[in-house]
Structure 1
Amino acid sequence: MTQSLGIEQYKLSVVSGGKPTLNNFSSVTGNKNIARLSHDQRNYIIPFNNQIKVYSVETRQCVKTLKFANNSTLSEIFSQEQDDNESIVKILLGDITVSQQEDAHLITVFTKNGHVVVLNYKGKLVESPKHFKISLENEKLLNVFHNKGSYRLLTTFKDPSQKAHNSLQSYRLHGLEFNDTKKQFDVTDQAEWNNIILSNVSSNGKLLTHICKDASTKDHEHKSISVVSLFDDSVNMNFPLSSVLSSQTQSLSSNTRYVSCMAIDNVGQQLAIGFASGVISIVNLADLQVRLLKWHIDSVLSLAFSQDGTYLLSGGWEKVMSLWQLATNSQQFLPRLNGIIIDCQVLGPQGNYYSLILQMTENNSNSDYQFLLLSASDLTSKLSINGPLPVFSSTIKHIQQPISAINTKNSSSIGSLNHSKKKQSRKVIKSKRQDFTTNVEINPINKNLYFSHISAIQIFDFYKNEQVNYQYLTSGVNNSMGKVRFELNLQDPIITDLKFTKDGQWMITYEIEYPPNDLLSSKDLTHVLKFWTKNDNETSWNLKTKVINPHGISVPITKILPSPRSVNNSQGCLTADNNGGLKFWSFDSHESNWCLKKISLPNFNHFSNSVSLAWSQDGSLIFHGFDDKLQILDFDTFKKFESLENTKTVSEFTLDSEIQTVKLINDTNLIVATRTTLSAINLLQGQVINSFDLYPFVNGVYKNGHLDRLITCDEKTGNIALVVNQQLTDFEGIPTTKYKSRIIIFDSELSRKLGNFTHCEYISWIGWNYDTDFIFLDINSTLGVVGTTVNTQLSDEVNNESIMDGLVSSTTTSTVSNTDAFAEQLKKLTSRGKKSAARNNNADSNDEDEEDITLEFINGEKKDKLVNMNSFTSMFDNIQNVQMDTFFDRVMKVIT
Structure 2
Amino acid sequence: MVVQSSHWNVTVQGSGRPLEKGHVFASNGRHYIALFKSQIRVYFLSTRQCIRTIKTPDLSSVAGSVLSKSNGSILYVILTTGEVLVTNWKDKGKSPILGTFNLNIPDGTSIVSVCDILNSDYEHEEFLMVVGKISNNRSPHTRTILRAGRSDSTELFTAKNITIFASSNNCKRFVFLSSKNELIYVRLEQDQNIAKNEKVTFAYKTPITAMAVSNEDGIVALGTSSGIIQIVYAEDPETPQRLLKWHIDQVKSLRFSKDDSYLLSGGLEKVLVFWQLDTDRQQFLPRLNGAIEEVSIEQTEGELYSVKVSLNDSQDLELLILSAVDLTSRLNVTGLRPRFATPLANLEKSRKRLLKLKAPLEDATMIKNDFTAPFEVHPISKLVYTPYGSQIQAFDIAKNEQAFVQDVAFAIQAGKVRTENLIADPSVDLLSFTKDGKWMCTFDSLPTPELDNLLSSKEVKYALKFWKYVDNPQGKDNTQGQWELSTKVVDPHGPQTAVVGVIPAPIAYSDGQGFLTVDNRGGVRIWRPRVPKDVYVKAGVVTKNEKLQQTTWSLRKVKHGNGKHQSNSVSVSWSQDGSLIALGHETSVVLIDMNTMQELDSPRMPSLAGSRVRWIGFLQDNLVVLSKDRLITFDLSTFENNKLALAFSSCAGGSNLIALSEDKDLIAVAINHYTENYDIQSSILFFSPGSLNPVFTGSHNVAIASLRYSTAHECFVFLDTDARVGTISTTTTLLEELDSVTSEIDHAYEMNVLLQNARAVSSTTYNGRDFGDLSGLTPKVLNPQSFDAVLQNTEGLKLEALFESVMRVI
Residue 329 of structure 1, CA deviation:
0.2
Residue 392 of structure 1, CA deviation:
0.7
The amino acid of 2:734's aligned partner reads V
Q: 2:202 is matched with which residue?
A: 244
- Contact kept, 8 Å, 2:13 with 2:725, in 1: the verdict is yes
Q: 1:134 is matched with which residue?
A: 103
Out of 110, 124, 129, the position equivalent to 1:154 is 129
Query: Would you say 1:496 and 2:429 are equivalent positions?
Result: yes
- Match of 1:569, SS state, is helix
The amino acid of 2:708's aligned partner reads G
Residue 185 of structure 1, CA deviation:
4.0
Out of 27, 34, 56, the position equivalent to 1:46 is 34
Q: 2:116 is matched with which residue?
A: 145
- Match of 2:5, SS state, is helix
Q: 2:786 is matched with which residue?
A: none
The amino acid of 1:791's aligned partner reads L
- Larger deviation, residues 188-197 vs 384-393: 188-197
- Match of 2:656, SS state, is helix
- Match of 2:675, SS state, is strand
Alpha-carbon distance in 2 for matches of 1:459, 1:194: 47
Alpha-carbon distance in 2 for matches of 1:168, 1:785: 44
1:537-556 equivalences in 2 (<5 Å): 537=472, 538-556=480-498
Q: 2:509 is matched with which residue?
A: 567
Out of 575, 586, 607, the position equivalent to 1:616 is 575
- Contact kept, 8 Å, 2:468 with 2:486, in 1: the verdict is yes
Q: Which runs of 5+ in 2 are unaligned?
A: 358-365, 473-479, 534-550, 740-810
Q: 1:713 is matched with which residue?
A: 660
Q: Deviations over 1:214-233 (max 9, x none)?
A: xxxxxx4x523323327537
Q: 1:60 is matched with which residue?
A: 48
Q: Deviations over 1:87-127 (max 9, x none)?
A: 22222223x8xxxx4x6432222111111122121315728
1:697-712 equivalences in 2 (<5 Å): 697-698=649-650, 702-703=651-652, 706-712=653-659
Q: Flag the 1:676–1:485 CA change in 2: closer, same or farther, 3 A.
A: same
Out of 308, 311, 316, the position equivalent to 2:259 is 308
Query: Would you say 1:92 and 2:33 are equivalent positions?
Result: no
Q: Deviations over 1:517-550 (max 9, x none)?
A: 0321111111111111121235432211111111
Q: Flag the 1:333–1:606 CA change in 2: closer, same or farther, 3 A.
A: closer
Q: Flag the 1:755–1:170 CA change in 2: closer, same or farther, 3 A.
A: same
Q: Flag the 1:11–1:233 CA change in 2: closer, same or farther, 3 A.
A: closer
Q: 1:392 is matched with which residue?
A: 340
The amino acid of 1:282's aligned partner reads I
Q: Flag the 1:626–1:312 CA change in 2: closer, same or farther, 3 A.
A: same
Out of 662, 680, 694, the position equivalent to 2:633 is 680
- Contact kept, 8 Å, 2:217 with 2:235, in 1: the verdict is no
- Match of 1:488, SS state, is helix
Query: Would you say 1:584 and 2:526 are equivalent positions?
Result: yes
Query: Would you say 1:743 and 2:684 are equivalent positions?
Result: yes
Q: 1:375 is matched with which residue?
A: 323
Q: 2:645 is matched with which residue?
A: 692
1:223-238 equivalences in 2 (<5 Å): 223-229=182-188, 231-232=191-192, 236-238=196-198
- Match of 2:13, SS state, is strand
Alpha-carbon distance in 1 for matches of 2:316, 2:441: 25
Residue 727 of structure 1, CA deviation:
2.6
Alpha-carbon distance in 2 for matches of 1:779, 1:688: 34
Alpha-carbon distance in 2 for matches of 1:338, 1:429: 39
- Match of 1:534, SS state, is strand
- Contact kept, 8 Å, 1:16 with 1:465, in 2: the verdict is yes
- Match of 2:456, SS state, is coil
Alpha-carbon distance in 2 for matches of 1:297, 1:604: 47
Alpha-carbon distance in 2 for matches of 1:286, 1:424: 48
- Contact kept, 8 Å, 1:677 with 1:694, in 2: the verdict is yes
Query: Would you say 1:188 and 2:154 are equivalent positions?
Result: yes
CA RMSD across the alignment: 2.7
Q: 2:538 is matched with which residue?
A: none
Alpha-carbon distance in 2 for matches of 1:148, 1:616: 68
Query: Would you say 1:598 and 2:557 are equivalent positions?
Result: yes
Q: 2:169 is matched with which residue?
A: 203
Q: 2:448 is matched with which residue?
A: 515
Residue 423 of structure 1, CA deviation:
10
Residue 148 of structure 1, CA deviation:
6.7
Q: 1:527 is matched with which residue?
A: 462
- Larger deviation, residues 669-678 vs 530-539: 530-539
Alpha-carbon distance in 2 for matches of 1:553, 1:369: 36
Query: Would you say 1:112 and 2:80 are equivalent positions?
Result: yes
Residue 718 of structure 1, CA deviation:
1.6
Residue 47 of structure 1, CA deviation:
0.5
- Larger deviation, residues 389-398 vs 515-524: 389-398
- Contact kept, 8 Å, 1:119 with 1:125, in 2: the verdict is no
Alpha-carbon distance in 2 for matches of 1:612, 1:575: 10
Out of 474, 478, 483, the position equivalent to 2:409 is 474
- Match of 2:65, SS state, is strand
Q: Deviations over 1:115-174 (max 9, x none)?
A: 112212131572863211224322212214224767334243349xxx9x9711222233
Alpha-carbon distance in 2 for matches of 1:750, 1:113: 49
The TM-score, its normalising length taken from structure 1, stands at 0.73
Q: Deviations over 1:376-409 (max 9, x none)?
A: 000000011110111111111289xxxxxxxxxx
The TM-score, its normalising length taken from structure 2, stands at 0.81
Q: 1:659 is matched with which residue?
A: 613
Q: 1:459 is matched with which residue?
A: 394
Q: Which runs of 5+ in 1 are unaligned?
A: 24-33, 69-73, 79-85, 178-183, 214-219, 251-255, 400-420, 644-648, 731-735, 796-896
Q: Flag the 1:606–1:310 CA change in 2: closer, same or farther, 3 A.
A: closer
- Contact kept, 8 Å, 1:560 with 1:574, in 2: the verdict is yes
Residue 620 of structure 1, CA deviation:
1.3
Q: 2:782 is matched with which residue?
A: none
Out of 205, 209, 212, the position equivalent to 2:178 is 212
The amino acid of 2:709's aligned partner reads W
